[in-house]
């Protein structure tokens, strides 16, 4: 399978714990995006990488959120001190020169 993959698919955690999600983009894609989607809403942009450089961050990305793409390949999104409001689907997408983004299956986070 050469599509975008995300791990884990589901994560249940207790409030206050840290969680980390991983995204593996399509191999030749240099641009990688993170989005967050809550129930009944469309995805909302969180952050964007071109190669290893993080070029844009949304105001939604509070200080508790950090994203990395150390070698311009896979990316991680970490949420520290999780809150119940962080419960959502976290989606990763990648693209190259096209404006079309290819999405992974998402990681569903539930904070108890």
Partner 1 sequence: SQQGEEDPQALSIQEGENATMNCSYKTSINNLQWYRQNSGRGLVHLILIRSNEREKHSGRLRVTLDTSKKSSSLLITASRAADTASYFCATFTGGGNKLTFGTGTQLKVEL
Residues that bind partner 1 (CB under 8 A): 4, 31, 33, 35, 40-45, 48, 50, 55-56, 89, 91, 93, 99-106, 108
Q: How far apart, in whole angstroms, are the C-alpha atoms of residue 18 and residue 71?
A: 23
Residue 25 Cβ, how far from partner 1 at the closest point, in Å?
Answer: 13
Residue 18 Cβ, how far from partner 1 at the closest point, in Å?
Answer: 24
Residue 3 Cβ, how far from partner 1 at the closest point, in Å?
Answer: 9
Residue closer to partner 1 by CB (options 73, 101) is 101
92: Cβ–Cβ under 8 A, 6 or more apart, which residues?
A: 4, 6, 21, 23, 25, 32, 33, 34, 35, 75, 77, 103, 104, 106
Residue closer to partner 1 by CB (options 31, 80) is 31
Task: Find out whether 23 and 4 touch, Cβ atoms under 8 Å.
Answer: yes
> Taking Cα atoms as reference points, which of 34, 23, 72, 67 lies closest to residue 51?
72
Residue 99 Cβ, how far from partner 1 at the closest point, in Å?
Answer: 5
Q: What is the largest CA-CA distance in the chain?
A: 40
Residue closer to partner 1 by CB (options 40, 85) is 40
Residue closer to partner 1 by CB (options 53, 71) is 53
């Amino acid at each position: 399978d050469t599509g975008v993959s995300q791990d884990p698919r589901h994560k249940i955690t207790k409030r206050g714990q840290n969680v980390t999600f991983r995204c593996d983009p399509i191999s030749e894609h240099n641009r990688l995006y993170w989005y967050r989607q809550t129930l009944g809403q469309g995805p909302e942009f969180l952050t964007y990488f071109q190669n290893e450089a993080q070029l844009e961050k949304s105001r939604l990305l509070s200080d508790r959120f950090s994203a990395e793409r150390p070698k311009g390949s896979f990316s991680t999104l970490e949420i520290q001190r999780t809150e119940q409001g962080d419960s959502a689907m976290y989606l990763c997408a990648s693209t190259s020169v096209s404006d079309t983004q290819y999405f992974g299956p998402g990681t569903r986070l539930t904070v108890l």
